[in-house]
Amino acid sequence: MGGLTAGGANLVQGSRIYIGPESLPEFVSAVSKSGCSVVESIGEAQGVIWFGRDPTPLVGVIPPGVDWLQIPDAGVERWVNAGFLDLDLVMTSAGGVYGQQVAEHALALILACAHRLATFARATSWAPHDAEVVGVFGLTVAVIGSGGIGSALVPMLKPLGCRVLVVNRSGTKVPEADETFIFGELDNILPEVDILVLAAPSTDETIGMINLRTLQLMRPSAMLVNVARGNLIVTADLLVALEQGLLSSVGLDVTDPEPLPDGHPLFGHPRVLVTPHVANPPARKRSSFAKHVSANCELFRTGKRLNCIVERGRGY
């Protein structure tokens, strides 16, 4: 692997970049701005910039001369499952790159839940008493995950008068959060949470973390928002909880399965608002990714540590 230094197995260096599956102009410009050059064949490349959601076309085609792979996703489970962490290269994600726009969508879902928009938007008659609007001022919001999304969301909530708790893997303090907890303490805080927001990666530790048992620890008036990965929630348990009268409102931008099949019970449920994984709209995603690409290409060219390296031990 090119550019390795003693004690720095994640340091790689090169300047020839292949962009796939298409050489979109904003990415060509981003690579050129960094001082690297775009090559037409992956066989010539030292680094690969990939902006396709499906990793399948790259399986088995990355040659030994490639030292770095930049993927377009913040969540890396598909790439890990496809075996890319087993290759002799450094893989970088887009972790945190899209945090601002996804946090904005999370805030929109939080406000929609608190103002019962799912119920009122489906009304066919004037019925102001069909749901109780609560607002968010003075409520306790727990944000699960403190990566790009969670870190961007916390300061959005504070001006609204929320008490903000953060739950993450390490217990690392988050600026502007009132308190920070580790995943193992989640059960202890759920009974006091008014709004639970999922913004964590999909890992062995987080898959299915919201299930019937954890939902039953929450107040019946609590709200749930997910902008992370659908499999953090056990969907069948969520439906049971809703039938049991738990959760006053739910906002989902991600689901399991995804996409939801036509006619799924979550569609049309009076207390559920579903958006079809649109928190990171295409134009903003390309723009944010291009800036990330330019920064990482410059680091790659100069042999410095890349941003958002996917660690084998953590899986993100």
Query: Annotated catalytic, 122?
Result: no
Catalytic residue among 26, 77, 185, 258: 258
What is the CATH superfamily name and number for domain 99-274? Answer: NAD(P)-binding Rossmann-like Domain (3.40.50.720)
What's the predicted TM-score (pTM) here?
Answer: 0.89
Mean pLDDT (the chain, rounded): 94
Q: Identify the pLDDT of residue 5.
A: 31
CATH class of 16-97+281-301: alpha beta
pLDDT digits (tens, 9 = 90+) for 64-121: 999 999 999 988 989 999 999 999 999 999 999 999 999 999 999 999 999 999 999 9
Query: Annotated catalytic, 258?
Result: yes
pLDDT digits (tens, 9 = 90+) for 50-66: 999 899 999 999 999 99
Query: Annotated catalytic, 229?
Result: yes
Catalytic residue among 229, 269, 271, 292: 229
The DSSP secondary structure of the chain, one letter per residue, reads: -TT-BTTBTT-----EEEEES---HHHHHHHHHTT-EEES-GGG-SEEEE--S--GGGTTT--TT--EEE-S-S--HHHHHTTGGGSSSEEE--TTTTHHHHHHHHHHHHHHHHTTHHHHHT-SS--TTSS----STT-EEEEE--SHHHHHHHHHHGGGT-EEEEEESS----TT-SEEEEGGGHHHHGGG-SEEEE-----TTTTT-BSHHHHHTS-TT-EEEE-S-GGGB-HHHHHHHHHTT--SEEEESS-SSSSPPTT-TTTT-TTEEE--S-SS-HHHHHHHHHHHHHHHHHHHHTTPPPTTBPPTTTT-
Show me where the domains of the chain are located: 16-97+281-301, 99-274
Catalytic residue among 277, 284, 286, 298: 277
